């Protein structure tokens, strides 16, 4: 770490952030990473710009000519920008030259009250560190990768005598081979289904496998070889698993040739049923490869990224090709200032995208990026092999990029169209319910239960971009004082917990760093219910000190027909909206989504209760010991009747655990 100059008080600076990895070059100030289509382009006040320049000058005087990463902070300690540099001294000096800055950079300088620096050994380290810090800190003036959900993979395990084929997300803690990424769960499920037909690999859990006494339905419909009950030998099953591994690793031609030879040999031996099975497996393999939209002939593995900009917004379409197959695509809409060039946005996006994902050997881009060589070195170091980044100009690779670019253009067009329509609907909603301020966030609440059992509350959120599922929340009804089926009491509990937590975490008057992000406080609360539920909601908000949030109740008509809803708004008599009013259709969509989400959550909770095992309630009894007890005694009821001596003889159960189980079922301490 570089020491701060003595003219800056340590108490005025934020604490050090963790130091991962990231890099850059540049001696000229690139506006390489910036905020979203934020309006950061208004001219900066001259006095604040001069003050910010002086702050940067004091830091610049002590900086070395080495690679590193710098952070800019405002007066409140909020990170404004994270940047990388080949030479920290030259890069920071570019901010104080006093001319040539865009309005966005000038505003960033004007807001700067402090800076922090981390030196790195190489530009590659600086690049990795920068991307990691951007993802952690989400600075206002950087390009931000907003949709950063993990990708699904296919896992073919190696830690069991009969390997398992499953969908996988998250950390790679299980031993096996991981194949991906796939752009969607749908693509993974489709591929796994086809692989089951082709290779007959099991998809069941290990515990299910170990407890089978006869083959399951998947064996009957020829989607599993049945290793659990010895329908196939371990040697033959291992051969099937190796074929599946070869196919997923790109050796599809070798696998298909082997199956064709086996089919021909079976036919010549007059074993026509066996030959038919090989034929069906070959057809399933062909289905895997033919079901994709585009399957390249000369590109075995590559990620393709194409960027399109329109109306100050950016869309980056990503395609994933593995084993000469298209494994799906996904559109990203990074938050970036409209003054940035396409190449700057794409370069910043890529560094963040691969921060937690393994890169392929080839990455194809629609635009040349400034730090291509440095990023290639960084990804090569991470992957343990050469990673090439290219901007193809001709041939099949160029066709792949053009296809991604066409998809990016269409995706952004749809998003802009939907955004305009959604904003109109939000405006119509505010007009219908007499809300003068712009409606940017709508929260809809609903409860679900059966005679008061497994009661849950649900909240869904909608805004300018449609339903915001990352903001959805569920609430298990905890109160033991409620009468079963008390909808009013449940609504009071849900809203009380929701808004008391919101007041604690986000004060109402706290400004948001990103003015275009979804607001954290709702502009309108919709309640699925009539006058009673609305009064309960208003009472809770008044008790919490936030009575100014509009609350509207939606009561179904006598026949519960859509279109006959009655609305309850404070200060107005109950009313209905005209049958063809767009606001009515919008409210129905919101209400139905809240109802779907609440019912789904309730059903999941009810299903969990159905299969609940008494052993789950014993402290200290995890999955392994639970399995050992059930394998030994057969059922939880038999475990409850077992003597202390019998429990002590179970493999994996020591004396202390046996006494714990014994006392639990007999009311002991």
| pTM listed for this prediction | 0.64
H or E element at residue 73: strand 68-73
Mean confidence (pLDDT) of the chain: 81
Which pLDDT value is given to residue 459?
92
Enclosing domain of residue 451: 434-602
pLDDT at residue 27 in the model: 32
Indicate whether 14 pLDDT > 50. Answer: no
pLDDT at 557: 62
Q: Examine the domain organization and report whether 558 and 661 are in the same domain.
A: no
Confidence of residue 668 (pLDDT cuts 50, 70, 90): low
Distance of alpha carbon 639 from alpha carbon 654, whole angstroms: 15
131 with 197, same domain: the answer is no
> If you average pLDDT over residues 594-620, what whole number do you get?
77
Domain match, 355 and 483 both = no
Residue 24 scores a pLDDT above 60: no
Query: Are residues 215 and 360 located together in one domain of the fold?
Result: no
Of these ranges, 210-214, 246-250, 301-305, 463-467, the one predicted with the greatest mean pLDDT is 301-305
Predicted local confidence at residue 452, as pLDDT: 61
pLDDT of residue 34: 34
Q: Is 306's pLDDT higher than 90?
A: yes
Residue 426 lies in a domain: no
Task: Report yes or no: 143 and 336 within 8 Å, Cβ to Cβ.
Answer: yes
Angle made by CA atoms 398, 404, 409, in degrees to the nearest 5: 125
User: Same domain, yes or no, for 499 and 548?
Assistant: yes
Residue 283, pLDDT > 90, answer no
Per-residue pLDDT at 429? 87
Same domain, 447 and 582: yes
Tokens of 571: 């200060």
Same domain, 67 and 126: yes
Give the CATH number for residue 118: 3.40.1440.10
Cα–Cα distances (Å) from 628 to 207, 573, 594, 649, 666, in that order, read 11, 64, 42, 11, 20
Q: Which residue has the higher pLDDT, 616 or 407?
A: 407
- Distance from C-alpha of 352 to C-alpha of 32, rounded to nearest angstrom: 13
Q: Give CA–CA dist 125/69, Å, rounded.
A: 9
In a domain, 143, yes or no: no
Number of domain units in the chain? 5
What is the model's pLDDT at position 633? Answer: 80
Average pLDDT over residues 490-496: 88
Do residues 192 and 203 lie in contact, with contact meaning Cβ atoms separated by under 8 Å? Answer: yes
Q: Is the same domain home to 167 and 104?
A: no
Closest CA to 164 of 220, 84, 245: 245
319/442 same-domain check = no
């Amino acid at each position: 770490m570089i020491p701060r100059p003595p003219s800056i008080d340590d108490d005025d600076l934020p604490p050090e952030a963790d130091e991962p990895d990231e890099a850059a070059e540049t001696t000229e100030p690139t506006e390489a990473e910036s905020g979203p289509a934020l309006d950061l382009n208004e001219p900066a006040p001259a006095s604040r710009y001069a003050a910010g320049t002086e702050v940067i000058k004091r830091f610049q005087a002590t900086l070395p000519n080495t690679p590193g990463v710098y952070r800019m902070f405002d007066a409140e300690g909020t990170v404004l920008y994270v940047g990388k540099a080949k030479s920290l001294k030259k890069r920071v000096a570019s901010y104080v030259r006093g001319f040539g800055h865009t309005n966005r950079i000038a505003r960033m300088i004007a807001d700067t009250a402090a800076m922090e620096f981390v030196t790195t050994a190489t530009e590659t380290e600086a690049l990795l560190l920068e991307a990691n810090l951007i993802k952690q800190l989400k600075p206002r003036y950087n390009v931000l990768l907003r949709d950063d959900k993990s990708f699904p993979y296919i896992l073919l395990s190696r830690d069991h005598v009969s390997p398992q084929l499953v969908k996988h997300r998250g950390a790679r803690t299980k031993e096996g081979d991981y194949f991906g990424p796939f752009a969607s769960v749908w693509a993974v499920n489709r591929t796994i289904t086809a692989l089951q037909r082709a290779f007959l690999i099991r998809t069941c859990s290990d515990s299910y496998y170990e407890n089978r006494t006869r083959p399951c339905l998947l064996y009957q419909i020829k989607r599993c070889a049945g290793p659990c009950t010895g329908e196939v030998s371990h040697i033959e099953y291992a051969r099937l698993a190796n074929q599946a591994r070869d196919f997923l690793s790109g050796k599809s031609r070798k696998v298909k040739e082997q199956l064709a030879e086996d089919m021909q040999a079976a036919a010549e031996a007059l074993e026509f049923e066996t030959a038919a099975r090989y034929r069906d497996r070959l057809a399933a393999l062909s289905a895997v490869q033919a079901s994709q939209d585009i399957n390249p002939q000369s590109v075995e593995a590559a990620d393709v990224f194409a960027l399109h900009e329109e109306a100050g917004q950016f869309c980056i379409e990503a395609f994933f090709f593995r084993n000469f197959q298209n494994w799906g695509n996904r559109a990203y809409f990074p938050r970036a200032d409209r003054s940035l060039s396409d190449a700057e946005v794409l370069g910043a996006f890529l560094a963040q995208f691969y921060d937690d994902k393994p890169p392929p050997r080839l990455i194809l881009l629609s635009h040349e990026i400034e730090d291509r060589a440095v990023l290639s070195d960084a990804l090569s170091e991470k992957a343990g092999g050469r990673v090439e980044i290219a901007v193809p100009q001709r041939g099949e690779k160029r066709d792949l990029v053009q296809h991604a670019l066409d998809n990016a253009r269409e995706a952004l067009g749809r998003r802009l169209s939907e955004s305009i329509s959604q904003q109109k609907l939000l405006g119509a909603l505010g007009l219908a319910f007499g809300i003068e301020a712009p409606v940017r966030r709508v929260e809809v609440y609903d409860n679900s239960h059966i005679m008061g059992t497994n009661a849950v509350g649900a909240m869904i959120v909608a805004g300018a971009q449609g339903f915001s599922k990352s903001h959805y929340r569920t609430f298990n009804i905890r109160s033991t004082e409620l009468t079963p089926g008390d909808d009013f009491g449940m609504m009071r509990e849900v809203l009380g917990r929701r808004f008391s937590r919101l007041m604690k975490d986000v004060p109402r008057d706290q400004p948001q760093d990103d003015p275009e992000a979804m607001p954290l406080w709702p502009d309108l609360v919709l309640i699925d219910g009539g006058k009673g539920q609305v009064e309960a909601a208003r009472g809770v908000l008044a008790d919490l000190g936030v009575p100014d949030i509009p609350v509207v109740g939606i009561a179904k008509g006598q026949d519960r027909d859509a279109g006959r809803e009655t609305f309850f708004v404070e200060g107005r008599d109950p009313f209905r909206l005209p049958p063809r009013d767009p606001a009515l259709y919008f409210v129905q969509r919101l209400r139905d989504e809240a109802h779907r989400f609440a019912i789904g959550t309730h059903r999941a909770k009810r299903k969990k209760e159905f299969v609940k095992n008494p052993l789950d309630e014993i402290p200290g009894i995890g999955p392994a010991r639970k399995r050992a007890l059930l394998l030994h005694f057969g059922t939880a009821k038999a475990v409850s009747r077992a003597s202390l001596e019998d429990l002590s003889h179970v493999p994996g159960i020591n004396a202390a655990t046996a006494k714990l189980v014994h006392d639990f079922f007999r009311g002991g301490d």
